[in-house]
Amino acid sequence: MVKLKDIAKACKSKNAGPFHITLDIMFDDAALFERVRTTGVLTPALIARLYGVREEEVLFTEYSPALAWKATLPRRIPSGAVGDTDVYGAQQHAPLLDIEVPLDIAG
């Protein structure tokens, strides 16, 4: 197993309007992207579990030409509302980093 943070070019988050967060997982190597894709580990169900939302609330897109996945999900607290601790949504990617991918990176 390898952690996503050790193989992805980038894992990031940002606002997708005041009520949603977008998560991006990007690779810079097509072969590695394909190896990760074939594991089936990156799914709407996984994102839902990591972020405590219902699976049907996750808009999940694989975009092979960019070697990337994007997931958009509702924010728990709207951007800028009382109690919001990340107005830009830029610090919400952390749960992605420790996703375990069943790969042998040497192979």
How many C-beta atoms lie closer than 10 Å to residue 25's C-beta? 23
Query: Looking at the predicted structure, is the pLDDT value of residue 29 above 60?
Result: yes
Per-residue confidence band for 104, with pLDDT thresholds at 50, 70 and 90: confident
pLDDT computed for residue 61 by the predictor: 97
* CB contact at 8 A, 14 and 89: yes
Query: Looking at the predicted structure, is the pLDDT value of residue 106 above 70?
Result: no
User: Quick one: 31 exposed, middle or buried, by C-beta within 10 A (0-12, 13-18, 19+)?
Assistant: exposed
Average model confidence (pLDDT) across the chain: 96
User: Quick one: 23 exposed, middle or buried, by C-beta within 10 A (0-12, 13-18, 19+)?
Assistant: buried
Q: List domains and CATH numbers for the chain.
A: 2-76 (3.30.70)
- Residue 70 parent element (H or E): strand 68-74
Q: Is the pTM of this model over 0.85?
A: yes
